[in-house]
Structure 1
Amino acid sequence: MKAVKCPYCGGPTKRNGRTSSGAQRWRCTACGASTTVRYDDTAARFDEFLSWLLSKDTQLEMPGAGRTFRRRTAEFWEVWPMPVPDGEFHRVLFVDGIWLAERLVVLICCSEDRVVSWYMAQSENSRAWSALMEPIPAPDVVVADGGSGFAKAVRAAWPRTKVQRCLFHAYAQVKRCTTTRPKLQAGRELYQIALDLTHIKTLHQAELWRERYLDWCGFWSDFLEDTTLVDGKRAYTHERLRKARRSLSSLVSAGTLFTFLDPELTKAGPLPYTNNKIEGGVNAQLRAVLRNHRGLTTLKRVKAVFWWCHARSGDARTAKEKLAAMPRDSDIDLLYDVYSASRKHDDGRPEWGDRAVWEELHRKDPFPFWL
């Protein structure tokens, strides 16, 4: 055991019975002062909390059938683990959002080996995407599934970054309209064209695919203009096929389908063409965490996602340093009351995803926002 020194004169101490609460009392052999030593077990309790949260263990399996565990770790549910911008450049980044409630989504940005940043918002709008991306150095390529508002945010935050649309999501968007067994010949052809997207490996194949798609659009253009009288109003007969065509036409016009084949970008190495890195490596793992701990409140589900992202972010600080720098619920409430300019609910609760809060919690200097 580490020797206990007198807090007054620094002299050696010896055991001197116990206090009424059972704590060991120490008496200084030099000045005669008595003291007790209180050991900080915050780091141990923090590790216990994260070990449970990121595992399949239930609270019933913890000491005291969960009661002791909940008492020892309750304070960590008040902490908001925020990303710390480190200025590291990544050649390729993947972005996506995981929905936790009807108006609550956590936007996540990851690289090939770690989670880079995360942001909570009401929806996948351009303002939320910009808040996620602005603190991160612009990559050469960003792979996305085409969420609403993303294109506008990229132009504003990362104007020189090339966008690669996830080819699997482009195919899946067509499949939702045509199904895997279309009844119409036009639907069968379009479904096969979309399916072939995931097998393109060269620029020549990409050009042949583009010509094939444009030929399909020209051949079936008159067919897709057919209308039917519905409730006294004219409506397109094949609206679902038209929707599938719009989804592919917009991607062809934007030029985001085959960014991974750009010769200038591939000089440094091959590029991904799907969002599998974040879908399987992040979102699937997050859903497993939420599934393992069913019954958490909405706020705790958000923090569980934040803690998982933080654990994969490569933050090398000690537990004590992290907890000292991370904001708590009381800090968030203060920021909403003082800085928030957004509308609030009828009962006074603030809306999710306020930009002012993000600015205060993601400072680029090393000082906490409350300083």
Structure 2
Amino acid sequence: CSGERVVSWYTARSENSRAWSALMAPIPAPEVVVTDGGSGFAKAVRETWPRTRVQRCTFHAFSQVKRYTTTRPKLQAGRELYLIARDLMGIETLHRAELWVERYLDWCGFWADFLEDRTVVDGRRVYTHERLRRARSSLSSLVSAGTLFTYLDPALAKAGPLPSTNNMIEGGVNSQLRAVLRNHRGLTSVKRVKAVFWWRHAHSGDARTAREKLAAMPTDADIDFLFSVYSASPSREDGGPEWGDRAVWEDLHHRDPYPFWLD
């Protein structure tokens, strides 16, 4: 989504680079994209939007660290790292961003030997503080990639402040879709798909009437066809169509100038 509307959508079996690329390909490359770092996204943006700058959602970056340290770490190293990650969400200037990186690198250096400790478990030597190592790795990869503070780049923020999180889509779109399905329990799979499609059509900035939108939406038969053909054998070696082929959209829905995508 953009700040005003749902731009496009793509229904997939799972998050992977192919599904992300299929969603992104029809959309003109933006200057900046904010993402939670879903599976396959990094590869897709390199291939589909190679000149687009990436802003990793700082809340998700913090949440990933919190998943490993918990909110009440028992170790001093964990307590310090938790506070460092939490402070990500309050950075508003490049100077403060530089100080944050220095603080994080100092933490890495101070606790480096501690995180190398090993313990013997079932005859194997394993890292004693594996969870802390994973938390460190999650932040180090983002620092190395330079995707934590894209929103502070003056050249990109000329037109106005940029978001540092993807709360816009989480709260404005994803949570609304969950509410639609929660409030209409008991729908069949086909009708659940259609309910999601209808909500997104209604929030896409499309000026057509409800009758015109309904005429362009997939029918029950269309969706039944997709599930029966493309999910029956998701991995085929005979060269036949697989779940996710672009032909799904092109064959069934090329008439609609406001595209949605089916995988």
1:156 aligns with 2:156: no
Question: Does the Cα contact within 8 Å between 1:336 and 1:357 map onto a contact in 2?
Answer: no
- Tell me how far apart the structure 1 counterparts of residues 6 and 169 of structure 2 sit (CA, whole Å): 9
Q: Which of the residues 249, 254, 257 maps onto 2:140?
A: 249
CA positional deviation for 1:367: 11
- Tell me how far apart the structure 2 counterparts of residues 318 and 214 of structure 1 sit (CA, whole Å): 56
- Tell me how far apart the structure 2 counterparts of residues 159 and 189 of structure 1 sit (CA, whole Å): 36
Residue number in structure 2 paired with 1:202: 93
Question: Does the Cα contact within 8 Å between 2:16 and 2:39 map onto a contact in 1?
Answer: yes
Summarize deviations over 1:293-324 as a string: whole Å, max 9, x none. Answer: 11222332222221111110122122333333
Summarize deviations over 1:58-90 as a string: whole Å, max 9, x none. Answer: xxxxxxxxxxxxxxxxxxxxxxxxxxxxxxxxx
1:343 aligns with 2:233: yes
Question: TM-score, normalised on structure 1?
Answer: 0.64
SS in 2 for 1:117: coil
Aligned pairs for 1:317-328 within 5 A: 317-328=208-219
Q: What CA RMSD, in Å, does the superposition of the two structures yield over aligned residues?
A: 2.7
Question: TM-score, normalised on structure 2?
Answer: 0.88
Q: Give % identity.
A: 78
Unpaired runs of at least 5, structure 2: none
Higher relative contact order (CA 8 A, sep 6+): 2
Structure number having the greater strand percentage: 1
Q: Which of the residues 258, 262, 267 maps onto 2:158?
A: 267
- Tell me how far apart the structure 1 counterparts of residues 109 and 161 of structure 2 sit (CA, whole Å): 34
Evaluate the alpha carbon distance shift between residue 183 and residue 336 of structure 1 in structure 2; reply closer, same or farther with a 3 A threshold.
Answer: closer
Question: Does the Cα contact within 8 Å between 1:226 and 1:238 map onto a contact in 2?
Answer: yes
Unpaired runs of at least 5, structure 1: 1-109
Q: Which of the residues 102, 123, 130 maps onto 2:21?
A: 130
Q: Which of the residues 296, 300, 307 maps onto 2:191?
A: 300
Residue 223 of structure 1 aligns to which amino acid in structure 2? F
Residue number in structure 1 paired with 2:200: 309
- Tell me how far apart the structure 1 counterparts of residues 258 and 17 of structure 2 sit (CA, whole Å): 28
CA positional deviation for 1:267: 1.3
Aligned length, in residue pairs? 255
- Tell me how far apart the structure 2 counterparts of residues 341 and 172 of structure 1 sit (CA, whole Å): 33
Structure number having the greater helix percentage: 2
Evaluate the alpha carbon distance shift between residue 325 and residue 203 of structure 1 in structure 2; reply closer, same or farther with a 3 A threshold.
Answer: same
Bigger drift between 323-332 and 182-191 goes to 323-332
- Tell me how far apart the structure 1 counterparts of residues 101 and 253 of structure 2 sit (CA, whole Å): 43
CA positional deviation for 1:333: 5.6
- Tell me how far apart the structure 2 counterparts of residues 307 and 226 of structure 1 sit (CA, whole Å): 54
Q: Select the structure of larger CA radius of gyration.
A: 1
